[in-house]
Amino acid sequence: MTVSQTIPDRYTQLQELIETEQLYPHFQPIVDLRRGEVLGHEALIRGPENSELHSPLVLFNTAMACGLEHRLELLCRRLSLEAYAQQELEGKLFLNVSASLLGTPEHRKGLTAEWLKSLNIPLDSIVIEISEQHPFDNYGLTLEAINYYKQMGFKVAVDDLGTGYSGLKLWSELQPDYVKIDRHFIHNVDREPIKRQFVKSICSIANGVGSKVIVEGVETRSELLTLKELGATIGQGFYLGMPTQQPKMECDSQEWLPRKRRAGSEKDMAETAAVLIHPAPALSFDDQMGYTAQLFSDNPLYDILAVLEEGRPIGTVHRSDLLELFSTQYGRALYENRPVTRILDTKAIIIESDTSLEQVSRLITEQDAVYLHQGLVITKDGLYQGIGNVRDLLKNITELKIRNARYANPLTLMPGNVPINREIDGLLKQTENFRVAYFDINYFKPFNDNYGYVKGDRLIQLLGELLTRHANGENFTGHVGGDDFVVVFRTEDWQLRCERILKAFDQAVREFYSPKDLEQGGIWAASRKGDSVFYPVLSLSCGVVHPDPYRCLSYHEVAELAAQAKKEAKKREGSYLFVSQRRKMRAH
């Protein structure tokens, strides 16, 4: 069959598929690499299995050759939305949009929004994915059109970054919510230094401008571990999940998501080694010394570089050792093609990023003096994060002590509002999984008026001690003010800890009452109106919220959610734990 015969045949098949809607949406999981959870799905399309148009490449090439690409795309979009709604898939839906469609008669403004409304799909669940393969020119998508989508409530992703001429220009002008790195740069990223440097640079730029990076085409565990090491937090590819009509994650996240390391009991400083991280490039154990010399030349601020195996540091290479080797006669010629492991220092100082600065300081001072000037390697769950130095450590410890003293509550000496807000904002920015518990003593004012501020202050201090004791470890405890406290839980046993706090408070508070008041179950005191009112023995209300880090923009929204949860808890009698199901603020 000739090419001239093939196109008409496919044109007839395509027309029939469109008329009868014989197109089948497939969904590929997009995975949060920090938490091992499905963040969303990309909608893809397939033709009938027994047809040559089953392949999406053949399907869309045929549509373009026949002038039916826009009609096909709109049908695919509607069918994908219907399947997404019918299956109630978790997370966001990433919809591919061709740049050229928006300026055509087939495209009607507001059509997608109408479909979403009829299917009861929230606008903020949809991400419009624009491919760089469709040039950003007069025939493509205008900046005004993108702003229109964003104003409607859609998120925007730039696809295939790195494959076209306009990538960085497109990125800077659109300011997308997501950037997808093309699979070319992901394939063998664990073995090719140039690709690693490209991915690392893109992740660094994204962090600076507020975009989230999605790495496409992840096909092996080794690639995934390397990408996590380079700063990637969201991934997509056959290793994580195949495109299917009923999608699921293919691999067990326990294979690449290490168990969370619990902080030690000595961790009493809010800041950790994470603040020391400089995102220095790293070496693979099979890199050559010539490449290592070039890397040192390109990065004059670093005297050491980490050497990695499957994303985990196995030692360091020192600039001085390499220079000494190359400075001998014929040194470079003899050694530049030798593996870097020849000068590997396996006694490097390697610490976890959640180690407190106090512990880091203690660890370094216990080392030989020669290591004090050579820096340290910082990891997270064993995976490389960057390089730190002693000068930054001393600077941060000094600033931390001053800041903690400045913002601490004077009564309990616990972190106040500023550190609490900073902690929550930091967790939101890192898209961490956490819960916020808001504690408030019921009927505290009449108790304080009746027994005096000295006993009232002692009770507040007691509650602070109870919270600190029961919420120890990697959780954060703060004193909002008065009788209001907050615990930011990162441990999974948050509910058990809250219940223990309520029980401990109920037992301890009885020591603050006279036998007479205990016998009658409370006190008589003047209300705000001046009437004599009976107030029962003090109890503790606790409202817990589980913020969605992808939908809560700042601590302001989390604080409002927590305040509402606490308000619900206070409606109940006695000490009560209320767990809110709301994860974001409602749109006004």
The CATH architecture one would assign to domain 273-396 is: Roll (3.10)
Cα–Cα nearest to 260, from 381, 436, 353: 381
Domain spanning 408-579, CATH class? alpha beta
- pLDDT over threshold 50, residue 399: yes
Q: Does position 169 have pLDDT exceeding 80, yes or no?
A: no
pLDDT surpasses 90 at 359 = no
Cα 579 from Cα 219, distance rounded (Å):
39
What is the residue whose two structure tokens read 């399907």? 59
Give me the percent of the chain exceeding a pLDDT of 90.
36
Greatest Cα pair distance in the chain? 102
At 443-481, the pLDDT tens digits run 999 999 999 999 999 999 999 999 999 998 779 999 999
pLDDT at 333: 87
Q: What is the pLDDT of residue 139?
A: 38
Question: pLDDT grade, residue 266 (50/70/90)?
Answer: very low
pLDDT in tens, 313-332: 989 999 998 898 888 888 88
The domain ranges of the chain are: 3-251, 273-396, 408-579
Q: How confident is the model at residue 240 (pLDDT cuts 50, 70, 90)?
A: very high
Angstrom distance (rounded) from CA 264 to CA 102: 56
Predicted confidence (pLDDT) at residue 141 exceeds the cutoff of 70: no
Arithmetic mean of pLDDT, 220-247: 88
* Per-residue pLDDT at 520: 94
Strands 376-380 and 350-352, by their bridges, are parallel
Confidence bin at 1 (pLDDT 50/70/90): very low
Count of Cβ atoms closer than 10 Å to residue 500 Cβ: 15
Residue 573's pLDDT is: 92
* pLDDT in the model for residue 392: 86
**Reduced to 3 states, what is the DSSP secondary structure of residue 191?**
coil
- pLDDT bucket at 213, cuts 50 / 70 / 90: very high
Pairing verdict, β 212-215 and 234-235 = parallel
Could you confirm whether domain 3-251 is CATH 3.30.160.40? Answer: no
d(CA 577, CA 568): 9
